[in-house]
């Protein structure tokens, strides 16, 4: 079965369809790897359920869909009915969603087999997968280094041969950057191309579900399966979904490629710049035309992103209060007597209004204490940091100065891309400014960690599709090339990536 790890989904599908390999055999091989692995790429695995599904598929022998019998890993912020969805956080450690995300329903209908839920930075907030309540994930190319984040578990599982493909989510680079670090393909679709229903929210105007695969062809197959408008997600767009796989062509002749000058300047590691430019010249030899373009508001992208994303974080994570679901602290009861929500009515009935008011205030204070202690114990440091940043930016007196201004700058960043795409068909940049960094190297310096996303956040702010593909290595560490496309033009970036990959 080892040879299948180097083959595309379509080739694996053919072997399953022609009965050269059994689906159960493939799933057993995957779990053999997962159970022996030290990457910590999974939080939860579905071994018995996956094997039962494989046996059912083998028995029926219906392999009409390319994804039938194909193992896939799911980032643990995407809901699967009846299985834990933790978001890498203690506050959701025991949460079992009562429904599937739309993408899960689509993959299930296509016959894919879910292997388990992958590790991530808590609530998808991070660039290294070191912020998880379930421990860090390790880079499959070198375990001394981070796999990137926040979809580090998904990227490591694909790069480490523990699944054929995976789903992740990308808010500011959380699919593309770990794909770059783990030497695989990572695609973030246009905002609205894929339903977010069932994706636990981090920053609602930025979050997008995408795919991590070992080759471009697989990314096309997966995207075609999960894309499409969904009535349950008001942000999903009613735009026709192309046959990405069928239309995949390694042709770039006459394609106009823009190289943004701001993405190749100060702060880009020389070995990264060299490998990316080598890849660009390969595309030029295939017939593409190169030209320099400018995205003048790029310098404001990181600060704009971290104002908007943290503000939306502050609002979205307010729901985790220990009342409706998830973790609840018991410390608040110590020394104050047991008290439960709604239990005090008989205590105050018939008392004078002043006493009734005092009782009510006591209950209110105890409830507030429960909220605070639960959130303090349930959230990790990075999530707390972002909640505080976002809450500050939304406060009266600061809203106009920070959040509102950031929204205006976001519009300018989107306008930069619009202007650039009047001259070129796609943009090519490095995915990350640096090589993968060592575990613990940036955990004490949040700003340096945030700057890891400096080349990916702009496309997210503008809602554009972008793909990261491997374009070389240095000292055994992978380097990624980012291709950014026009809104809902995933086909062009897939074709460009496919042409480079084949070349």
Active site residues: 75, 150, 174
Q: Which two tokens stand for residue 386?
A: 């972002």
Q: How far is 185 from 179, CA to CA, in rounded Å?
A: 6
Q: How far is 79 from 290, CA to CA, in rounded Å?
A: 42
Residues 455, 431: contact at Cβ < 8 Å? yes
With vertex at residue 134, the alpha carbon angle to CA 325 and CA 367, rounded to the nearest 5 degrees, is: 30
Q: How far is 409 from 297, CA to CA, in rounded Å?
A: 8
Residues 9, 218: contact at Cβ < 8 Å? yes
Q: Which two tokens stand for residue 99?
A: 């429904």
Q: Which two tokens stand for residue 25?
A: 């055999």
Q: Is 6 helix (H, G, I), strand (E, B) or coil?
A: helix
- Could you tell me which residues are beta bridge partners of residue 483? 428, 467
Residue of 43, 85, 92 lying closest to 320 (CA atoms): 92
190-223 burial: b if 16+ Cβ within 10 Å, else e: bbbbbbbbbbbbbbebbbbbbbbbbbbbbbbbbb
Q: Is 222 helix (H, G, I), strand (E, B) or coil?
A: helix
Q: How far is 138 from 152, CA to CA, in rounded Å?
A: 8
Give, for 413, the enclosing helix (H) or strand (E).
helix 405-420
């Amino acid at each position: 079965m080892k040879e299948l790890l180097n083959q595309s989904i379509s080739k694996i599908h053919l072997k399953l369809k022609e009965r050269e390999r059994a689906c159960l055999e493939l799933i057993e091989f995957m779990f053999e790897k997962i159970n022996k692995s030290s990457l910590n790429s999974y939080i939860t695995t579905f071994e018995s359920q996956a094997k039962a599904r494989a046996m059912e598929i083998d028995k029926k022998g219906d392999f009409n869909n390319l994804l039938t019998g194909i193992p896939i890993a799911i980032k643990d912020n995407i809901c699967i009915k009846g299985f834990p969805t933790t978001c890498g956080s203690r506050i959701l450690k025991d949460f079992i969603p009562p429904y599937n995300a739309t993408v899960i329903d689509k993959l299930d209908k296509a016959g894919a087999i879910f292997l388990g839920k992958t590790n991530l930075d808590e609530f998808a907030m991070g660039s290294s997968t070191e912020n998880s309540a379930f421990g860090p994930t390790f880079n499959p190319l070198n375990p001394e280094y981070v796999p990137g984040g926040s979809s580090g578990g998904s990227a490591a599982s694909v790069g480490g041969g523990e699944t054929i493909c995976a789903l992740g989510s990308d808010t500011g680079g959380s699919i593309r950057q770990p794909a770059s670090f783990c030497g695989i393909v990572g695609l973030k679709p246009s905002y609205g191309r894929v339903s977010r229903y069932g994706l636990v929210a981090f920053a609602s105007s930025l979050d997008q579900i995408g795919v991590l695969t070992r080759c471009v062809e697989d990314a096309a197959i997966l995207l075609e399966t999960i894309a499409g408008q969904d009535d349950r997600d008001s942000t999903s767009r009613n735009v026709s979904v192309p046959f990405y796989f069928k239309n995949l062509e390694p042709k770039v002749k006459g394609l106009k490629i823009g190289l943004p000058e701001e993405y190749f300047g100060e702060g880009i590691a020389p070995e990264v710049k060299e490998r990316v430019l080598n890849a660009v010249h390969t595309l030029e030899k295939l017939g593409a035309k190169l030209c320099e373009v400018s995205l003048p508001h790029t310098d404001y992208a990181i600060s704009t992103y971290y104002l908007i994303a943290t503000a939306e974080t502050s609002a979205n994570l307010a729901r985790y209060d220990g009342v409706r679901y998830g973790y609840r602290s018991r410390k608040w009861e110590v020394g104050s007597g047991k008290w439960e929500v709604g239990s005090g009515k008989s205590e105050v009935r018939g008392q004078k209004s002043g006493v009734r008011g005092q009782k009510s205030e006591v209950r209110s204070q105890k409830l507030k204490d429960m909220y605070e202690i639960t959130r303090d114990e349930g959230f990790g440091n990075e999530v707390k940091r972002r909640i505080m940043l976002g809450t500050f930016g939304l406060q009266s007196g600061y809203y106009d100065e920070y959040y509102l201004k950031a929204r205006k700058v976001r519009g300018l960043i989107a306008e930069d891309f619009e202007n650039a795409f009047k001259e070129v068909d796609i943009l090519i940049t490095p995915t990350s400014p640096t090589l993968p960094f060592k575990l613990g190297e940036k955990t004490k310096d949040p700003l340096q960690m945030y700057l890891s996303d400096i080349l990916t956040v702009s496309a997210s702010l503008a809602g554009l599709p972008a793909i990261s593909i491997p374009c070389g290595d240095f000292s055994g560490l992978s380097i990624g090339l980012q291709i950014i496309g026009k809104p809902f033009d995933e086909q062009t970036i897939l074709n460009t990536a496919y042409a480079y990959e084949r070349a």
